[in-house]
Structure 1
Amino acid sequence: MAPVKYQEILIDEQDKSWGTLIKAVVAEYAVTTLFLFFTIGTVSSNCHTADNASHAGADKSLESAGYGTCFLGTGNVLNIALAFGFSIFVLVYCAASFSGGHINPAVTFGMLVARKISISRAVLYMVAQCLGACTGAGLVKAIDSHGWRAAGGGTNALSAGVSNAAGWGLETILTMALVFTVFAATDAERASDTAHLPVLAPLAIGMVVFLCHMVAIPLDGCSINPARSFGAAAVAGKWDDQWVFWVGPLCGGLIAAAAYEFLFRTKPNKSVAYPSSFDVEGGGKLPEVNAALPAFSGVEGLKEVKETTSSS
């Protein structure tokens, strides 16, 4: 019988397409800009509520409020946590098909550790994320300068009684939860058996971000994202404890990626046919593809293919 042609997915070949790479980097910059604008903007706008403005000593006006004098109440914690969670949900959905929708150097670092993206792509993503974070925080400062000042620029800082070691541990644990969720929700091999997983990935990632913020906002403002901390600090010029918000998330991303890849990742054990492999008119079935269904794998995926042959 004549050899049958199959397609082999080459994820690492994508960086050879400059157009695809540039589109991915621009997407990371754009969605991280929006992420900081939505989230720092929520922190800032919450300071305009009557109770917070009054607490700031500005007689329900923030014009004379001092830097960082905005009071963080229970309702504000919920509002801010929801803003972070829903922002990630929406923005990951928007950017997933272009860049994977990382929006976070810790996620990008985890993908690099798992060898899902190249070093060059990872570096470009991180730079784009940090620049986007600065842009988003800067837009909030330009639009709502009084609220931004009262909110302390939305920067991360350790609360009284929280040591550097405790902050590092907190950021490491919470980022482990985030990155592990990203890997579990976007595992292409799992998606081949459970087709709804890629569809629910943005929701799952947004929910874990929400839960992390509910825990950590009163303790350190909750980073779990070095770009978020960097952008807010760069615009505000406040670098207190900045290393905690880089080392902790990167350690968490490293541990989660290694744990998932070595302990939990489903090993591919069968050929999976793509929906396009079937004739919608009921005709013949095309050869199956020896690869998993596409998911939010951190790269655009399925762009470069290499033909191999297999004889029966």
Structure 2
Amino acid sequence: MAAKEVEKVVTADEETTDIVVHRVPYGDPPAVRALDTSELTTWSLYRALIGEFTASLVLLYVSIATVIGYRSQSSAPDDRCTGVGYLGVAWSFGATVSVLVYSTSGISGGHINPAVTFALFMAGKVTLVRSVLYVAAQCLGAVVGVGIVKGIMKHPYDDLGGGANAVAGGYSLGAALGAETLGTFVLAYAVFSATDPKRTARDAFVPLVAALPIGMAVFVVHLATIPITGTGINPARSLGAAVLYNQHKTWKQHCTCLYSTIVSSLQVGPMPCRCHFSHIRCHVGTFYVYE
């Protein structure tokens, strides 16, 4: 029950006015039932799967095409300054994720990444059925997206590694696992922070800008880890490139991304259950204080 109070404040015109303050105990939305199968009969689930498939396809097409284009340009001895560089590759991933999250958040939640889906499942925000189907749609979309790139850029794709993740020389698998785990943690942490329901209760604009910090998290993580692994932090992205490139080394190192996803999701997923904040939602003349 909200506690109603009246407080006096002084406005910019040095006039005293009364405002109504409602103190509302905030409660997190209840966790979903993990084994709820009722979603299988709803059209919204299948519409969400189409959204996840399409978003994953677009992400892999844009990002892998950028990677192949960068490598083909930078490998030419007389065109060393024409490539987009690490900055351009990181920006292509981050900006594309931001656009796709904004576009699909109202359809599927804008996961686009099995690591995000798994973390949300661990937090009790997504059912097991939806999680499994989302991951399948994301991986299938990634394979199709990389397949389109391979069909368009056949020779550069085969000659330049297919945009697949690989541990760079001078780094061990342990170092790569650590980098991927930390990068996936940063992404999942940004997702939970940007979609925190307490912040939405306070500021109505938060859902509108949530895609921006998520895309920026992808951008900065790519800047840090491209020199180490080419940056995975998305098992669907790593799987799609590995399937089409189909090299033993690529498959072996793809496991690094899977391990990092599991570890990071176990770290971030339970965090919303342990964190409590106080927020204020403001209307004209009325304040709702969520405690």
Please confirm whether the aligned pair reaches a TM-score higher than 0.5, indicating the same fold.
yes
Q: Which residue in the other structure is 1:203 paired with?
A: 212
Greater strand content = 2
Q: Deviations over 1:112-137 (max 9, x none)?
A: 00110100000000001110110000
User: Does residue 1:263 correspond to 2:274, yes or no?
Assistant: yes
What percent of counterpart residues are identical? 36
**Contact 2:70-2:83 within 8 A present in 1 as well:** no
User: Does residue 1:241 correspond to 2:250, yes or no?
Assistant: no
Further displaced range: 148-157 or 129-138: 148-157
Counterpart selection for 1:27 from 51, 58, 74: 51
- What secondary structure does 1:222 align onto? coil
More RCO (CA 8 Å, sep 6+)? 1
Q: Which residue in the other structure is 1:254 paired with?
A: 266
Task: Tell me which stretches of 4 or more aligned residues in structure 1 moved more than 4 Å.
Answer: 9-14, 71-75
Structure 1 pair 190/219, CA: closer, same or farther in 2 (3 Å)? same
Give the partner amino acid of 1:229: S
Q: Which residue in the other structure is 1:52 paired with?
A: 75
Q: Deviations over 1:64-120 (max 9, x none)?
A: xxxxxxx99995211100000001000011110010010100000001001101000
- Measured on the aligned residues, the alpha-carbon RMSD in Å equals 2.7
TM-score by length of structure 2 reads: 0.79
Structure 1 residue 266, shift from structure 2 partner? 4.1
Aligned partners of 1:144, 1:105: CA distance in 2, in Å?
27
Q: Deviations over 1:154-198 (max 9, x none)?
A: 000111121111111111111111001101101112111122221
Q: Which residue in the other structure is 2:197 paired with?
A: 188
Give 5+ residue unaligned stretches, structure 1.
1-8, 61-70, 276-290, 292-312
- What secondary structure does 1:99 align onto? coil
Aligned partners of 2:83, 2:223: CA distance in 1, in Å?
10
**Contact 1:158-1:167 within 8 A present in 2 as well:** yes
Structure 1 residue 146, shift from structure 2 partner? 2.0
Structure 1 residue 200, shift from structure 2 partner? 1.2
**Contact 2:69-2:83 within 8 A present in 1 as well:** no
**Contact 1:171-1:252 within 8 A present in 2 as well:** no
Give 5+ residue unaligned stretches, structure 2.
1-28, 284-289
Structure 1 residue 225, shift from structure 2 partner? 0.5
**Contact 2:122-2:270 within 8 A present in 1 as well:** yes
Aligned partners of 1:107, 1:223: CA distance in 2, in Å?
13
Q: Which residue in the other structure is 2:42 paired with?
A: 18
Aligned partners of 1:96, 1:86: CA distance in 2, in Å?
15
TM-score by length of structure 1 reads: 0.73
Structure 1 residue 151, shift from structure 2 partner? 2.6
**Contact 2:71-2:83 within 8 A present in 1 as well:** no
Aligned partners of 1:254, 1:151: CA distance in 2, in Å?
35
Structure 1 residue 16, shift from structure 2 partner? 5.6
Q: Which residue in the other structure is 2:6 paired with?
A: none
Structure 1 residue 149, shift from structure 2 partner? 2.0
Give the partner amino acid of 1:113: M
Structure 1 residue 147, shift from structure 2 partner? 2.1
